[in-house]
Amino acid sequence: MFDIRLPELRPYAFEGNFGLERESLRVTEAERMAQTPHPFPPDHPRIVRDFCENQTEINTGVHPTAEAAVAELKEIDATIRAAILPRGERLWTNSNPPASLEEDEIVPAKFDGHLAGKSTYRDYLAGKYGKALMAYCGIHVNFSFGEKLVEASGVDRDVLYLHLASQCIKWGWAIVALTAASPRGDCSSVRCSERGYWNKFIPILDFSSVRDYARSIARYVTDGQLVAPSELYYPIRLKPRGQNRLQTLVENGIDHIEVRCVDLNPLVGGLVDARDVEFVRLFFLWCAAQPRETLSAEKQAECVGHFKAAARLDFDWTPVGELVERMEEFFAGFPEARAILAFEAEKVYHPERRYAWMEACHV
C-alpha cells in the first residue's frame, strides 16, 4: 500500500522531482502573432518551438522542489523576453491566444534535415484540427516520487504509476478547476473545455500493465485514429526516462507522470504559482493512496466529461470542496501541507480568488 501516513513512509513522504514545460506565444505590441524567426537555435537545451513558429516552449531541468522548478522557469522566461524585446515583441501571458488572432497568422513550425518529419507532423495536425486550436498554450507538470519513498512502500514502480494515472483520470478535474485562468465566453479554461485540446474520439486506456497501457494507445495508431502516440491529447500521461516512445516505456518502465491541464497564470506573468505545482504533488500523494480499482470504458468516458465540465464558468464547485476537505483530512498529520491546501481552499469558498474570475475582472 502506498500511503505516506504509514510510519515506514513518512520520512520520505515529500521527496520527489519536478520538471515543468511552459508554452507561450510571441506577439507584437499590437497583439498580433510575431512573424519573425524563432530566436534560439534548434539544439537549445531548454527553449524549443512547439506547434507554430512563434510558440516557444520552455523545458526546465529536474528539481527537488516546486519552488526550484518555478525559479528556473522564471529565469528562462526572462531570457526569452530579453531576446525578443529588441524586436518589439513580448510573450503572451494567457493560455488563450489574442482575441484578434487570425488563423492565417499561424505558421506551423518548420524543421530541416533529419527533423523534417516534425514539420510534416505539424502540417498534419493543422489540417486535422485547424491551426487556431494549436495557438492555445499551457503548462505541463512532470513529477516522480523519490526513490526511497517507492522502495519503502514495497510497491512495484510501474504498478504504482499505473494506479496513480487511473486515479488522476478519476479525480484530475479538480486540477482544471483550481488552475483555470483563461476565461472566454462560458469557459474558465477554453483549452481544457470541450472546445479545446481533445481528440475526435474518447480514448479508453488499459492500466493493467505497462505493456497493456502502451498497447491501448498504439491501437489508435493502428486503426488510423491517431497518426502517432504523441497525437493523444489526454490530460494525464505516463512517461519513460529518455526518449518519449511507447517502446521505451515498455522496455524501461515508467519514470514519471505528467499533468497537462494547468493554464498559464497571467497573474504571475504567464507562468505558474509554485503553490499550485506543490498542490499537484499533494494530489498525486493522495491519489496514490486511494483503493485500487479498474476504470471501465464507461467510467473513463465519464471522467473525460468531468475534465471538460470543470473548465466551464458554471461548474458546480461542491465536489472540489469535498475533495479538498478529504485531502485536508488525509494530510492532517503533515504541517508542511497545511498552507498549500488552505491556499486552494480559498479558491473553493471565495470565487473572487479563482484565477479565471480575477482575470475576467482584470480584462
pLDDT computed for residue 52 by the predictor:
87
**Looking at the domain assignment, is residue 122 inside a domain?**
yes
**Looking at the domain assignment, is residue 257 inside a domain?**
yes
Q: CA 52: distance to chain centroid?
A: 19
The CA–CA distances, whole Å, from 101 to 28, 87, 134, 265, 291 equal 12, 20, 12, 20, 46
The backbone torsions φ and ψ at residue 107, rounded to the nearest 5 degrees and listed phi first, read: -110, 115
Number of domains in the chain: 1
**Looking at the domain assignment, is residue 5 inside a domain?**
no
For 180: left if phi > 0, alpha if psi spans -120 to 50, otherwise beta; the answer is: beta
Domain that holds residue 100: 10-362
| DSSP state letters, 5-67 | TSTTTGGGTT-EEEEEEEEEEEEETTS-B--SPPSS-TT-SSEEE-SBTTEEEEE---BSSHH
**Looking at the domain assignment, is residue 105 inside a domain?**
yes
pLDDT per position in the chain (363 positions), as tens? Answer: 799 999 999 999 999 999 999 999 999 999 999 999 899 998 899 999 988 888 999 999 999 999 999 999 999 999 999 999 999 999 999 999 998 888 888 888 888 888 788 889 998 998 999 888 889 999 999 999 999 999 999 999 999 999 999 999 999 999 999 999 999 989 999 999 999 989 999 999 999 999 999 999 999 999 999 999 999 999 999 999 888 999 999 999 999 999 999 999 999 999 999 999 999 999 999 999 999 999 999 999 999 999 999 999 999 999 999 999 999 999 999 999 999 999 999 999 999 999 998 765 544
Report residue 163 as a C-alpha cell.
494506479
Closest by CA to 283, choosing from 168, 160, 151, is 168
**Looking at the domain assignment, is residue 285 inside a domain?**
yes
**Looking at the domain assignment, is residue 193 inside a domain?**
yes
**Looking at the domain assignment, is residue 186 inside a domain?**
yes
pLDDT computed for residue 363 by the predictor:
46
pTM: 0.96
Q: CATH number for the domain including 249?
A: 3.30.590.20
Grouping H, G, I as helix, E, B as strand and the rest as coil, residue 261 is strand
- State how far the Cα of 272 lies from the Cα of 54, in Å rounded to an integer: 21
Consecutive H or E run containing 19: strand 16-28
Provide the 10 A C-beta neighbour count for residue 216. 15
pLDDT computed for residue 359 by the predictor:
67
pLDDT computed for residue 188 by the predictor:
96
Report residue 356 as a C-alpha cell.
479565471
**Looking at the domain assignment, is residue 290 inside a domain?**
yes
